[in-house]
Amino acid sequence: MSTAPFTNTSLLPIVTLPGDAGPIAPRARLPRLTPTPLPMSRKEMEARGWDEVDVVFVSGDAYVDHPSFAMALLGRLLEDAGFRVAILSQPDWHSADAWKTFGKPRLFFAISAGNMDSMINHYTANKKVRNDDAYSPGGKIGRRPDRATLAYCQRAREAYPGVPVVAGGVEASLRRLAHYDYWSDKVRRSIILDSKADLLVYGMGERGIIEVAERLAAGQTIRELRDMRGVVYRLGASETVPEDPQTLRLPSFEEASTNRFAFAEMTKIAHNETNPYNAKRLVQYCGREAIVVNPPQLPLAQGEMDRVYGIPFTRKPHPSYGGQKIPAYEVVKDSVQIMRGCFGGCTFCSITAHEGRIIQSRSNENVMAEVRQMAADPEFKGVISDIGGPTANMYEMRCTRPEVEAKCRRLSCVHPKICKLLGTDHGPLVQLMRDVREEKGVRKVFVASGIRMDLARRDPEYMKELATHHVGGHLKVAPEHTDPHTLEMMKKPGPEDFLEFDAAFKKASNAAGKKQFLVPYYIASHPGSDLPAMIDLALFLKRNSYRPDQVQDFIPSPFDIAACMYHTGLDPFTKKEVYTAKHLRDRKLQRALLQFFKPENYFEVRQALEQANRQDLIGDGCDCLIGSRPPKEALDKRRLKANENLREQREGDHIRGKPGGEAKGKSSQETGYRPHRKTHNRRDGKR
């Protein structure tokens, strides 16, 4: 079977988003009245006078009609373009019945696991089931399956064979190529092959979902959409694979899954082809099939950002939840997103891979219109919890030379040093912060998004504005580590950057007559970080009187450069060896060192110090991390753990029919490591 002719997708025209100057939509646009939630049931659909819908948007998250939630943003955008959209939120995936709620969609199913990868949503860094789900009503777990994109696509096909299935969202975006999966500890093939979706839209989806809807509504087939930017599609064994100067062939799935150098090379090539202005098409074989990744969508212009965020939202969860709190919504309900994208290029972060490196900012007027809408809400208390984005202080920052930006292949504009062509003026942001806090009905405006310290400390006026008006006593920052080698693996500034920012922040706070503190965040077990590096970090924390309440264990997210380091033990760009703490016991020691001051961590910290031959840090000296004798809390924890292990052993013997009891119920082999799984997920040697 032949395919449609291939074109150089890096040169395709931009698709204009709907708005006053946009294209004519397939249906007449509805007047912009006070918004009502998109329908979540057939009754709500029929109440609108609809006999069918154009698009059924399936998501693993609760439906919150707020611009911070992808299903709301994309659903409202489709509605604004004249399409009828229904929301299928957290459906029961055990059958296809829920997928038939609205009847057969006229155009397609839009599938997303939600705002997070479903595996990260479900499991901790130690692969334990999380106790809550921030994107579910009441924070309840169990409302979505593992690898939700796969299950949702399968049910969509089962419900209505022949209806196009389009996958998107963070989970699909980061798994578009062969990728290392931390939870199964293996390399998995592209998610489009396992999900059998017709098309995968990666990155931010505004342009993609509008183009899919408009072209399908115009009578094109899903196969004809293969020339779109920002999409991934599957080629069968009999189809022609593109061969031209604008196409790069990646190591195959078979090579990447068996050869760590091939996996590292795949990662290197994929990340080098993420600039939408010069990226090439990527092809990766998997057996006789192949997947094709077209170049990314171009970033939204400011006018397009304004149109997207200017669409009316109720800014509330769907009424069907009956007032149950959705934790993720509670965090962002009074926040304002002013930009997207991040040029930091941190190797452990998925923001750049999903949103892109080019900053896309809303206009001052557009942000102020949203603030006025919030202030007019009787339930608004006058406090804006955050004004920012992925990074709070990158608003309107871009390369000052567009012709250079179009050719640039740097993965970070600020590492190893800030690019001299990067515009770092905080002036527009400072003016916006002033305008927002001076708006009638607004009492306080906080900055809770992460701050890029190396940029902030270069602008005394921004530091003054921040410390004087936008910090509530504590400011969260993320230096991540103190070890130069580990920071190099992270693509983060050196340890002196945090100290200089700390001094500048204290100076600005003192000038404002305020006593304010930094709350630094650090990562344990990141590639490059060994016990000596973590011990140095612990000493730094003690000498500077920092006692972090929250610490982060490194989780290898699919597609991330750091995930490649974790899996292969290689820096994908230099192919040099990188140490990684993989065993659970080693990860526990690194985490304990970050909170060496907690009595219950005493034995883990002692083990780490002895293993690193740093017994000099055990005792009563000023630099000692722990005392020579364990505290009572540490002994109590050890005793409880021993009792728990003994109880589990006895219960296991009882189930297996060993002395002490008769066999009852299913065997441990049938139960497995995770609930509802038939097989063990951990080898005996890792238990």
State whether 39 and 167 are in the same domain.
Answer: yes
Q: For the ranges 83-87, 239-243, 245-249, which has the lowest average pLDDT?
A: 239-243
Is residue 197 in some structural domain? yes
Same domain for 21 and 154, yes or no, is: yes
The pLDDT value given to residue 383 = 97
Asked if residue 512 and residue 431 are part of one domain, the reply reads no
Q: What is the pLDDT of residues 113-126, one digit of tens each?
A: 999 999 999 999 99
Do 355 and 427 reside in the same domain of the chain?
A: yes
Question: Last residue of a domain, which of 408, 436, 470?
Answer: 470
In a domain, 23, yes or no: yes
Average pLDDT value for the chain: 90
For the stretch 384-420, pLDDT in tens is 999 999 999 999 999 999 999 999 999 999 999 999 9
Query: pLDDT-based confidence at 165, cuts 50/70/90?
Result: very high
Top-confidence residue, 669 or 482 = 482
Q: What percent of the chain has pLDDT over 90?
A: 82
Mean predicted confidence (pLDDT) in 79-85: 96
Give the pLDDT band (50/70/90) at residue 170. Answer: very high
Domain count, the chain: 4
Q: Note whether 480 and 390 are same-domain residues.
A: no
pLDDT in tens, 442-471: 999 999 998 999 999 999 999 999 999 999
pLDDT digits (tens, 9 = 90+) for 583-597: 999 999 999 999 999
357-376 tens-digit pLDDT? 999 999 999 999 999 999 99
Identify whether residues 450 and 569 lie together within a single domain.
Answer: no
- pLDDT at residue 657, as a whole number: 57
Section 158-178 average pLDDT: 97
22 or 364, greater pLDDT: 364
Q: Do 397 and 479 have their domain in common?
A: no
For range 241-270, the mean pLDDT: 96
Does residue 388 form part of some domain?
A: yes
Residue 644 has a pLDDT of 78
Question: Would the pLDDT of 338 be above 90?
Answer: yes
Q: How confident is the model over 60-73, as pLDDT tens digits?
A: 999 999 999 999 99
Looking at 292-301, 313-322, 379-388, 640-649, which range is the least confident one? 640-649
Task: Check which CATH number belongs to the domain holding 387 and give it.
Answer: 3.30.750.210
Residue 191 has pLDDT above 70, yes or no: yes
Indicate whether 95 belongs to any domain.
yes
Q: Is residue 530 part of a domain?
A: yes
Q: What is the pTM of this model?
A: 0.89
Residue 682 confidence (pLDDT): 46
Q: What's the rounded Cα separation, in Å, for the pair 527 and 654?
A: 41
For residues 569 and 491, state if they share a domain.
yes
Rounded to an integer, the average pLDDT of 516-542 is 95
Q: Note every long-range contact of 566-569, with CB atoms under 8 Å and residues 24 or more positions apart, other chains counting.
A: 566/180, 566/182, 566/527, 567/180, 567/187, 567/260, 567/263, 568/260, 568/261, 568/263, 568/264, 569/260
Task: Provide mean pLDDT across the span 210-222.
Answer: 97
Domain end among 428, 448, 470:
470
Is 610 found in the same domain as 499? yes
Residue 279 lies in a domain: no
Same-domain status, 194 and 168: yes
Q: Which domain holds residue 105?
A: 17-228
Would residue 113 count as lying in a domain? yes
Residue 162 lies in a domain: yes
**Residue 50: both structure tokens together:** 């609809």
- For 409, the token pair is 């292949």
Question: Are 87 and 156 part of one and the same domain?
Answer: yes
Out of 582, 611, 630, a domain closes at: 630
The domain spanning residue 607 has which CATH number?
Answer: 3.30.750.200
- Tokens at 623, concatenated: 């630099």
Q: Determine the Cα–Cα distance for residues 499 and 454; give it in Å rounded to an integer.
A: 11
Residues 89 and 194 both lie in one domain: yes
* CA quadruple 370, 375, 377, 383: dihedral sign: positive
Neighbours of 632 (CB within 10 A): 8
Range of lowest pLDDT (10-24, 80-94, 518-532): 10-24
